[in-house]
Structure 1
């Protein structure tokens, strides 16, 4: 995506778990105000289309956390891993690949940013809130495909396109308590083709708005309730007794020494969707390589909060399509 006029090429992290789109901006707030990124940090002074948003504007009122500085709207976003961004809310012209320039999009110009953003310029907010990119574009649908973590190719993001015909479809579930999250209907999980003995209620939102399961491209590793994770872990261990174990490496507790293995087969892990559809994860999406010595760990962890998350590592190579008009989400493997 390109930002401003003249256009500056920028690389972003896609995040379906938050709403504010932002990029790092000059001047940085002190020595550690900006993290290291691949491209030059955006300078709003050099863009003719950059316009700060006032404190009493409609856009500023849409923020979950906002302040005011000399009538400029100040935004702040904190993420679950402790990362954060603070800066000035503005409107700017964005240009997507193979698309016309789109003016007056609300974005954050981050002057104080900290976190593991993998050298990206910033983050594209694709959550369900009113200030997310999909909401501002009034998109009827969007889809993305995240390439493998070691791929030289780029991940893709498309708006207003039909999902692949072979997509496995599940309803999106609305939660008024957390409107930014993209909840999906999941009724169970399986390991090695055998359904796990867990109740479908473990993935449902309760009366207080807690629980449920979201698809979050901004979280790396899938997180499950502790009881669900233990059942998954025991089932996986029972089918991998032929693999040499390795010491656990935080945050993982189930690891293997595959340094002497030339070909490894692991049981298929799947999310069971309505209609007896089964989203089977590729083997490479189930084991996470944690070092260069050949240590791989089960790429799932026990959640520390009452929410299940399908993380981006498990989404690699899967085109995830959101039909916002009909509140559906589709999954199609090998569609990057």
Structure 2
């Protein structure tokens, strides 16, 4: 009897060992991967030849996408473009462009971190100092506000654009896509203060579907900061953490995305005073989880995007509806104090095929709603708590000892001189999620050029905030799908 029990126990343990090994091997990345140095540097030089080619390519790409996807009527699809594919950078070289990108990114991260920290303390947006006031003073708000006008290349609330038709007839505008915002808005005539954009500023009098929102409407009451113009028209204000803001009338309009049917009665801001915001884009399409976000107004519980290389002239798609399933899945977490952001259950980070010894609490939200990890389309560089970042960086440096080091650049403290090399092998970096799920990042998603001569930097950065952010550089080339009904975020590499 004892021998039978021993044999049974042996077989059970053997089966468990084989099963465990199978799961580990399935999600266990290889120790190294190859970075194509020559291709990355070529892309940096190509940036300065980009202009409005994105718009010229859009029709052909949309038709191609429709054929590949079967032109499903259940899908609402629009093309995505990196910023530089919409408007030339205006910088003298790639190093200057990188510096502007990183300044803009730092400003955005400071703003997001401040919002989360204040929310964790119970401070709401509506309790922060508004720029608009009530009744007769509100009618003069758009012309009475003073603030710094800063180049959009030095500020930040998003790096990827889509072409959206505003009004009827549709006026095509480039809109920034932002999973970290809820309220959508567009610059409007008459302008008290409008920044430079690629398209003519939208004039609401030219649209037959434009409708002002009343002060007593539930839509107006849903705004964090609002006021009433002439006791009838709702005014909105959205302020960003870098000091920039947009102020104007709140309205409903018809939006047309790609070749999809027009979407009517979408609440959005018609901004007459827009300070320190986005050069080139006409406004912002809010993709957060709040009640006023575009997905929420659509009633869509699923949407996905794939972000092409930021230095590329090609485009990819933003889709609403369809099957959100992906190769790697992570739980979507809820922050009761901050419903805009998409928090995910990140459990660890791997380097060279091994998961690092980082306490899981480094990535988790506390009971007060502080900390945690969000996926954000507008932040470029992934931010980690300082101790977690140090562990990750040190492991990467150890695995990349053969590469020649050089001095740091801006927020990057780990850089290499890869000039004269066509390719190099680097340690694999992977993001790990519950139940053994792992997303292996391509080398170009974490070792990035900062000039056109061969300086590459490790594209993660530390933060003093408790919040971690998975940025768009790490998301490039991966379709990221959000399924709020089932509380899942999925990642599918190479599905742009």
TM class by shorter chain equals over 0.9
Give the counterpart of 2:263 among 98, 102, 113: 102
In 2, the alpha carbon distance for the partners of 1:264 and 1:254 equals 16
Deviation of 1:217 after TM superposition, in Å, equals: 0.6
Deviation of 1:167 after TM superposition, in Å, equals: 2.1
Higher relative contact order (CA 8 A, sep 6+): 2
Answer yes or no: is 1:261 the counterpart of 2:261: no
Could you say which residue in structure 1 is the equivalent of 2:189? 26
Deviation of 1:81 after TM superposition, in Å, equals: 4.1
In 2, the alpha carbon distance for the partners of 1:203 and 1:96 equals 35
**Structure 1 unaligned residues grouped into runs of 5+:** none
Deviation of 1:35 after TM superposition, in Å, equals: 2.5
In 1, the alpha carbon distance for the partners of 2:402 and 2:245 equals 43
Answer yes or no: is 1:43 the counterpart of 2:206: no
1:198-237 pair list within 5 angstroms: 198-237=358-397
In 1, the alpha carbon distance for the partners of 2:362 and 2:383 equals 13
In 1, the alpha carbon distance for the partners of 2:269 and 2:206 equals 16
Deviation of 1:98 after TM superposition, in Å, equals: 2.8
In 1, the alpha carbon distance for the partners of 2:176 and 2:228 equals 27
Give the counterpart of 2:444 among 284, 287, 312: 284
Deviation of 1:83 after TM superposition, in Å, equals: 3.8
In 2, the alpha carbon distance for the partners of 1:61 and 1:213 equals 29
In 1, the alpha carbon distance for the partners of 2:228 and 2:454 equals 51
Answer yes or no: is 1:302 the counterpart of 2:465: no
How many aligned residue pairs are there? Answer: 332
Answer yes or no: is 1:144 the counterpart of 2:305: yes
Deviation of 1:108 after TM superposition, in Å, equals: 1.2
In 2, the alpha carbon distance for the partners of 1:222 and 1:114 equals 27
In 1, the alpha carbon distance for the partners of 2:170 and 2:247 equals 23
1:62-141 pair list within 5 angstroms: 62-70=222-230, 71-115=232-276, 117=278, 119-141=280-302
In 2, the alpha carbon distance for the partners of 1:278 and 1:80 equals 32
Greater helix content = 2
Could you say which residue in structure 1 is the equivalent of 2:127? none
Superposition misfits of 4+ residues, deviation over 4 angstroms: none
In 2, the alpha carbon distance for the partners of 1:274 and 1:228 equals 18
Could you say which residue in structure 1 is the equivalent of 2:339? 179
Could you say which residue in structure 2 is the equivalent of 1:11? 174
In 1, the alpha carbon distance for the partners of 2:301 and 2:340 equals 16
Deviation of 1:105 after TM superposition, in Å, equals: 0.2
Q: Is the 8 A contact 2:307 2:479 kept in 1?
A: yes
Which segment drifts farther, 282-291 or 169-178? Answer: 282-291
SS of equivalent to 1:205: coil
- Cα 1:83/1:171, change in 2 over 3 Å: same
Deviation of 1:154 after TM superposition, in Å, equals: 2.2
Could you say which residue in structure 1 is the equivalent of 2:29? none
- Cα 1:79/1:259, change in 2 over 3 Å: farther
SS of equivalent to 1:265: strand
Deviation of 1:153 after TM superposition, in Å, equals: 2.0
**Structure 2 unaligned residues grouped into runs of 5+:** 1-163
Can you list the C-alpha shifts for 1:217-250, whole angstroms capped at 9, x where unaligned?
Answer: 1211111111111111111111122222222121
Can you list the C-alpha shifts for 1:24-79, whole angstroms capped at 9, x where unaligned?
Answer: 222222xxx32322222212121111112122211111112222332322222233
Q: TM-score of the superposition, structure 1-length normalised?
A: 0.94
Can you list the C-alpha shifts for 1:166-225, whole angstroms capped at 9, x where unaligned?
Answer: 521111000111111110111111112111111111111101110100011121111111
Can you list the C-alpha shifts for 1:104-123, whole angstroms capped at 9, x where unaligned?
Answer: 10011122224463522221
Deviation of 1:284 after TM superposition, in Å, equals: 1.1
Q: Is the 8 A contact 2:345 2:433 kept in 1?
A: yes
SS of equivalent to 2:220: helix
Could you say which residue in structure 2 is the equivalent of 1:58? 218
Q: TM-score of the superposition, structure 2-length normalised?
A: 0.64
Can you list the C-alpha shifts for 1:120-173, whole angstroms capped at 9, x where unaligned?
Answer: 222111111100011101112111111111222223111111035x52111100
